[in-house]
Amino acid sequence: MCGIFGIVTREERTLGPVLIEAGRRLAYRGYDSVGCAVLCDDGTIDLRKDVGRVEEVAERLGFAEMRGRRGITQLRWATFGAPSRTNAQPHLDSEGRMVGAHNGNVVNNVELRERFIAEGMTVRSTNDGESCVHAVERYRRAGDDMVTAIRKAANDLHGDYAFVIGEAGDDRLYAIKMGSGLVAGIGDGFTCVSSDLPSILPLTRRVIRLNDGEIAVLDADGVTVVGVETGETVHREPELVEDDMETAEKGGFPHFMLKEIHEQPKVAGDLLHLLGESKHVVPFLEMAGRARHLYLVGCGTSHHACLEGAVYLNRLAGRSATPVLAPQFIAQYGASVGPEDVGIFVSQSGETKDVLNAVEAARARGMGVLALANVLGSTLMNAADHYLPLACGYEISVPATKTFTNQVIAFLFIAHRLGNRDADCLARIPALLEAAIERALPQVEAIARELADREDLYCLGYGLTFGIALEGALKLKEITYAHCEGMLSTEFKHGPLSAVTEGYPVLFVPGPEDVPVMISAINEVTCRGGRAICIAEPDPRIEANADHVVELPAAPPEVNPLLAVVPLQLLAYRLSVLRGHDPDFPRNLSKTLTVD
């Protein structure tokens, strides 16, 4: 995820402090590099950027002294191109006459770069933000005005993105929204545009929210909105925003965790776009496909994704894969793996110490190393032979939500490709996740109030939903502080069933293909007075046997687990709030564990 901000003022002034403060306001989104560009009245562009924190880079490069009438700042979370000064944004066009920055992913970036180079453009980076600038440059060279050039460029840029761009000798800035957030602000003698509200609210509370497929033309006196398809002006009155800063940062949600649960359809779509175009996919799959033994290695939530991945690989690709907790990898497999084996090492941060220890042990035995991680340029990605980015953006809340979903989607994609299967069902995932969230919200509320005082419960899955049950139990433990044990439903009768008493709650996650075996487990609980709460697609057999059913949208069997995790995330969230805890920052826990 990235953050962009642009401002147009009536007179030349020192814009550096405004750009620095806008960067600080966008920092909560997460980033690895920062840059500022100012378009000066003499026709020059002052561009300064580097890897690092806003304050450190600003001081080192003298952002505060930058002067002009138009300025752009950008915070970059690397997806295309490793974190570096060259890949940091904003970017110039070939002649240094235009400058721009983007937020989002342009998934055909590799092909565009090759085309731009072949056309004689000066391409300096591997970052897709530069492709946005060159895409406009192509049509400006052909004689089109800026709005027309941006409209045509939008047809060349595939993915979800927004960008802001300016040109020397033009008093305006231009911004386009094509899937990523964008809002414009109108003040006294200036206008501005940003990825979201926090960087605008300290300057003005009069805003225009852009819709997908719209261009904002900013001059010092106002904002004109133009439709990308028609080129016609869209008339929209500014609105007055009354949100406070904290609410704005959370997108109107009371907690980051709830915001990130709601972001899952969006990031799922981002990942699927990226995997459909990424140059990393083929070498990743080739190494995984020729492995003698394939190991899926992770900790906590990432391990649960590995459990899902192992079932997917078996069902869809006919491949045996061994999921293993990273700290156990050395003890259990460290002396037996070799050059013919491959591990897929999974980590949200790419810095998890237990995972890196396992990578080091694998390397010592000559084993192939593949990585799934969310942070480009992380230690894990740098250590891997090949990697796939998870494209989740920054996840602030300590409990993983959208990163888990995209880990599972990545494994589902890998299994489809290794099995040479039609992957059309994957395209439905974002819409199904959206429906699952909408459907679950009111259903979960009643259950949460019923369970708010419980200190002990179980969450049971089977087959494809085993890893989901473990993940749901982990979420409940993390942020409610109640004990919830996740396990295989068929194992429950081998001991834990003794815990069931009158009213004792047990959560069940039956996949559509496993209803008969789960009904047996449900009745083992209900006949002893326990309360069976099921998260499942509509099924008369489940409804006849369970005490309560949280209904999921109907989906292909392999997609069902992705939907089933949503009510469990929401249930954990609501229980945490009802019990008076902060779900974003649970006690004793850290987002990234860099110690043994």
Q: 14-32: string of b/e by CB count within 10 Å (b at 16+)? A: ebbebbbbbbbbbbbbbbb
Q: Are 37 and 5 in contact (CB under 8 A)?
A: no
Cβ atoms within 10 Å, residue 503 = 11
For 552, phi then psi, to 5°, come to -105, 155
Fill in the DSSP letter of residue 210. P
Structure tokens at 46: 């002052």
Cβ atoms within 10 Å, residue 108 = 18
How far is it, in rounded angstroms, from Cα 297 to Cα 327? 9
Q: Are 572 and 587 in contact (CB under 8 A)?
A: no
How far is it, in rounded angstroms, from Cα 486 to Cα 470? 4
Contacts of 338 (CB under 8 A, 6+ apart): 365, 366, 367
Q: Are 176 and 18 in contact (CB under 8 A)?
A: no
In this structure, which amino acid lies at residue 378?
S
591 is catalytic: yes
**Ordered DSSP codes for 365-413:** TT-EEEEEESSTT-HHHHHSSEEEE-------SSS-SHHHHHHHHHHHH
Q: Are 436 and 553 in contact (CB under 8 A)?
A: yes
How far is it, in rounded angstroms, from Cα 306 to Cα 411? 8
Cβ atoms within 10 Å, residue 230 = 10
The alpha carbon dihedral of 400, 401, 402, 408 has a sign of: positive
Q: Which listed residue (2, 36, 132, 484) is catalytic?
A: 2
Closest CA to 441 of 574, 342, 323: 574
Catalytic residue annotation:
2, 591
